[in-house]
Amino acid sequence: MPRWLSLALFLVPVTSLLAVAHVYLYRRLVRDVTARKALRRAGIALFFGGFVGSVGARMIGAMLSSEAARATGIVLLLWMGLVLYLLMFTLALDVGQRVLARVRKAPEPPSPERRAFLAKGLAAGATVAGATVSTYGAWKAFHPPEVRDIPVRLARLPKALEGFTLVQLTDIHIGGVLQRRYVDELVARTNALKPDLIAVTGDLVDGTVPELGRYVEGFGALKARHGAYFITGNHDYYSGVKAWVAFVQGLGITVLRNRSVSIGDAGASFDLAGVDDWSAQRWGEPGYDLDAALRGLRPDRASVLLAHQPSNFEEVARRGVGLQLSGHTHGGQMFPGNVLGHFIWGAQNAGLSQLGQSHLYVSRGCGFVGPPMRVGAPPEIARIILLPG
């Protein structure tokens, strides 16, 4: 399927749903609440401007200075998140009101005054609830990621490496919203953990090297006894993967593209492998190659695989890999995404799961995509503590 057609099949229904949502919210939160023309015109301007801005955020940003573009982009993304929660609460209250009316079996329709009172109460309730959840979600998204300690019993890990700490950073999404200040803070928090090894498991950026290189270069300050490693994620391909791989390597971070390295010394070590993103072939790249990544690995040695997406874990487990570290899902990022993610990915949506002797840890990630909000899936820095299996 041509790329333009795939993009159209995604954008057309999404844009249509976004338009319907804005019209519905205007009607329920403005038109049904007031007859004053000035307020209705202001509502039309707000929802129409919000819809156009949401659809054309990139175009609008390109017309402004960099700081103005960033501020405008953040506002528009926050608006999209607010619209989502306003829509959820308004629909829920609408449906609840209708169900309650049917249960009560009202003998006659309510008076115009009562209808107006109910409409205003619904609008106020939905607005307060939507704004509250959106504000909390934005605060959580920009709040420093929490550190999660995850003990993992790794099969065949030498006793001498008990307590080896591997810090995973994933789905950071440096771009128009998260920039150098965020990078420096994330690096400082990571280094403070004094990790033995750092793994950046993809979706580092949303933009090109010329646009974002001055922010990303802050990751060159990452420090770990056995170094920092990087694998590609799908957003890194959207952003020009070859240029980013070269840039990351220039920071002193080792890039694992379908290959493995030994971590430790002659007395105690394990194998660390990394694969390109599962969807890389769509971008004309060689892509995910598990055979190449695991080539030469011995079955009597402990092994860890870095793979951006949790896809193909069943095959990874069948090959005897002790632990796979992934991201990609964001844990759903925003309710109801976390619930939907559980239905799509199951136990692989977030957290630690096990198949036989093989473990999979899927991090909720550090950053975000789309609306800068985190509801029900807070950002995290994962500190994996390896223990002999």
CB 239 within 8 A of CB 207: yes
Bridge partners of 167, per DSSP, are 198, 383
Bridge partners of 343, per DSSP, are none
- In sign, the C-alpha dihedral spanning 282, 318, 261, 382 is positive
Domain boundary among 117, 141, 165: 141
The candidate with the shortest Cα–Cα distance to 307, out of 283, 324, 331, is 324
Residues 340, 324 share a domain:
yes
pLDDT value of residue 60: 60
Residues 164, 57 share a domain:
no
Residues 346, 259 share a domain:
yes
Residues 125, 162 share a domain:
no
Residues 285, 172 share a domain:
yes
In whole angstroms, what is the distance from residue 82 CA to residue 51 CA?
A: 12
CA–CA–CA angle 212, 215, 220 (5° rounding): 120
Say how many C-beta atoms besides its own lie within 10 A of residue 102's C-beta: 9
227-247 confidence digits (pLDDT tens):
999 999 999 999 999 999 999
In whole angstroms, what is the distance from residue 78 CA to residue 389 CA?
A: 45
Tokens of 226: 């056995």
Write the CATH number for 186.
3.60.21.10
In whole angstroms, what is the distance from residue 239 CA to residue 205 CA?
A: 7
Query: How many alpha carbons lie under 13 Å from residue 268 in its C-beta half-sphere?
Result: 11
The candidate with the shortest Cα–Cα distance to 253, out of 229, 222, 219, is 229
pLDDT value of residue 57: 64
In whole angstroms, what is the distance from residue 375 CA to residue 138 CA?
A: 8
Domain boundary among 108, 141, 174: 141
Q: Is 374 helix (H, G, I), strand (E, B) or coil?
A: coil
Query: Which residue stretches of 265-366 are H helix?
Result: 290-294, 313-318, 337-345
pLDDT value of residue 12: 83
Q: Is 386 helix (H, G, I), strand (E, B) or coil?
A: strand
pLDDT value of residue 285: 80
Residues 99, 205 share a domain:
no
Bridge partners of 354, per DSSP, are 359
Residues 255, 276 share a domain:
yes
Tokens of 265: 């010394």
Residues 217, 104 share a domain:
no
In whole angstroms, what is the distance from residue 126 CA to residue 115 CA?
A: 16
166-204 confidence digits (pLDDT tens):
999 999 999 989 999 999 999 999 999 999 999 999 999
H or E stretch covering 387: strand 380-388
Domain boundary among 141, 158, 174: 141
In whole angstroms, what is the distance from residue 256 CA to residue 227 CA?
A: 13
pLDDT value of residue 70: 82
Residues 220, 83 share a domain:
no
pLDDT value of residue 376: 96
Tokens of 350: 């977030």
CB 20 within 8 A of CB 53: no
Residues 153, 137 share a domain:
no
24-51 confidence digits (pLDDT tens):
999 999 999 999 999 999 999 999 999 9
Q: Tell me the residue range of the domain where 196 lies.
A: 147-388
Place of tokens 């399927």: 1
Say whether pTM exceeds 0.85: yes
202: left (phi over 0), alpha (psi -120 to 50) or beta: left
Q: How many residues does the chain have?
A: 389
Write out residues in the chain with pLDDT < 50, as ranges.
Answer: none
Residues 174, 56 share a domain:
no
The total domain count for the chain is 2
b/e sequence 199-222, b meaning 16+ C-beta within 10 Å? bbbbbbbbbebebbbebbebbeeb
Residues 155, 131 share a domain:
no
